[in-house]
Amino acid sequence: MELSVCLRSQYLWRFFLVPYEPVGDSSTKLKIRNIRKTYGEVVALERVHLDLQEGEFLTLLGPSGSGKTTMLMAIAGLNDPDEGEIWIDGKLATYLPPFRRDIGMVFQNYALFPHMSIFENIAFPLRMRKFNEAFIHKEVTRVLEMIQLPEVAGRMPSQLSGGQQQRIALARAFVYEPSIILMDEPLGALDKKLRDQMQLEIKHLHEKLKITLLYVTHDQEEAMVMSDRICLMNNARIEQLGTPDELYFKPATLFAADFLGESNFLPAKVSSVRESSTLHLKLSDGTSVQAPHHNNVQEGESVRLMVRPECIRILLDNENEVNTATATLKEVFMSGPVTKYYLELAGGKEIKATQLTKGPISSIQTGDSVKIGWSKERSVVFNS
């Protein structure tokens, strides 16, 4: 057995040793309060607060080094924090060993026991809890049917594909119905097509079983597709916490706006804040535009205006929008279902528009002057 497999197996033993006794019946399954973790002079987590509700699918999203895996390991009991508290089902669990936390864990590289059959891999946490054989057989059969792999019970992990092994790892985490299931980049080793399929499978299993999931990924599309809420992390802190819609259309910071999806950032100056619902701005080329009111800006202040590429339309002669500007078309790329237009505003600022491909591109050519437009509601203002 390879050393890496041995180490992962040790992690699994630490989860499955003895039953857990939850306290109370709170809808808040997990509470993190003021958690801090350092490695020498490096701060990996800086006083983080987070709540996870029963039945919720919450994703920790962020770039490498943002603190998401450190937080997951602290919750799992594999990495003790320096300060703060972790509460699971109303019970203080900050320094409890992993097997006392009622947590299931799914690793990126499956961490199946290579010397056990698929049936025994799934049965393992039930056997550690000393359930009788009839119950174990019933539950293992049930989860194998649930993941649509009833025929592989007698096989060994090496005889399965990567996608099948990941499903078995999920089944093993589900079978004993832990309070929370943690998933650490579980789809990172799969190819894109299989990853997309597994995203939907995990989402459907979550909806069907009403389980509580805490998921770690650096893939923003994965987080947007699967999550009830996303906890966006940056520099050891929580940058923004909210639904996928909130993070995408109402990013709270420049980092959030830039990390999720594609964005156009335009320098602008506040020309008027007199109206309670509308902010009047001037772009660097003198174009006047509008945005929703922003409480933290003042007249004459320099700001940055963010507009998503898919919110910008190339307008026909008889069309108009609240916000319009003149631009020169620099390049066009059609990538099947969407067409991307790269444009340049009169002041030299580059801007991108993305539209659904409706047919062959023939009406406008590179070098043409075009009118673009977007709604006030799709404008987001940030302090410079």
104 and 87 inside one domain: yes
Q: Range with the lowest mean pLDDT among 20-24, 240-244, 318-322?
A: 20-24
Provide the mean pLDDT of the chain: 88
Q: Which stretch of DSSP H or E encloses residue 9?
A: helix 3-16
Write down the pLDDT at residue 293. 81
Burial class (CB in 10 A: 0-12, 13-18, 19+), 348: exposed
CATH label of the domain that carries residue 139: 3.40.50.300
Instruction: Dump pLDDT digits (tens) for 186-195.
Output: 887 778 887 8
The phi, psi pair for 313, rounded to 5°, reads -115, 145
Q: Which of 225, 256, 287 is the last residue of a domain?
A: 256
Q: Give how many domains the chain has, as a whole number.
A: 2
User: What pLDDT does residue 331 have?
Assistant: 93
Contact 376, 323 (CB under 8 A): yes
pLDDT(196) > 90? no
Residue-number span of the structural domain to which 109 is assigned: 3-256
More confident residue, 146 or 63: 63
What are 265-317's pLDDT values in tens digits? 999 999 987 667 789 999 988 999 999 987 688 888 999 999 999 999 998 88
CA distances for 345 relative to 63, 252, 351, angstroms: 31, 26, 7
The predicted structure's pLDDT at residue 121: 95
pLDDT at 20 over 90: no
Query: Whole-model pTM?
Result: 0.85
280 and 236 assigned to the same domain: no
Residue 29: per-residue pLDDT: 93
Answer yes or no: is pLDDT of 57 > 60: yes
* Domain final position from 256, 288, 320: 256
Using the predicted structure, report yes or no on whether residue 68 has a pLDDT greater than 50: yes
Residue 362: its pLDDT value, please?
Answer: 65
Question: 1: pLDDT confidence band, cut at 50, 70 and 90?
Answer: very low
Question: Are residues 229 and 287 located together in one domain of the fold?
Answer: no
Q: What are the tens digits of pLDDT across the range 70-112?
A: 999 999 999 999 999 999 999 999 999 988 888 988 887 778 8
For 211-259, the pLDDT digits (tens) are: 899 999 999 999 999 999 999 999 999 999 999 999 999 999 999 999 9
Higher pLDDT pick, 170 / 6:
170
* pLDDT at residue number 324: 94
269, 136: one domain: no
What digits encode the pLDDT tens for the residues 155-191?
999 999 888 888 898 889 888 888 899 999 888 777 8
Least reliable range by pLDDT among 128-142, 233-247, 302-316, 350-364: 350-364
At residue 31, the pLDDT reads 96
Residues 208 and 266 in one domain: no
pLDDT score for 296: 80
Closest among 170, 214, 160 to 50, alpha carbons compared: 214
Which contacts of 245-254 are long-range, i.e. CB under 8 A and separated by 24 or more positions? 248/224, 248/308, 249/308, 249/378, 249/380, 250/380, 251/306, 251/380, 253/382, 254/304, 254/306, 254/382
The reply to whether 203 and 342 lie within a common domain is no
**Residue 113 within any structural domain of the chain:** yes
Q: State whether 124 and 247 are in the same domain.
A: yes
Q: Which pLDDT value is given to residue 26?
A: 59
- Per-residue pLDDT, averaged over 36-47, amounts to 94
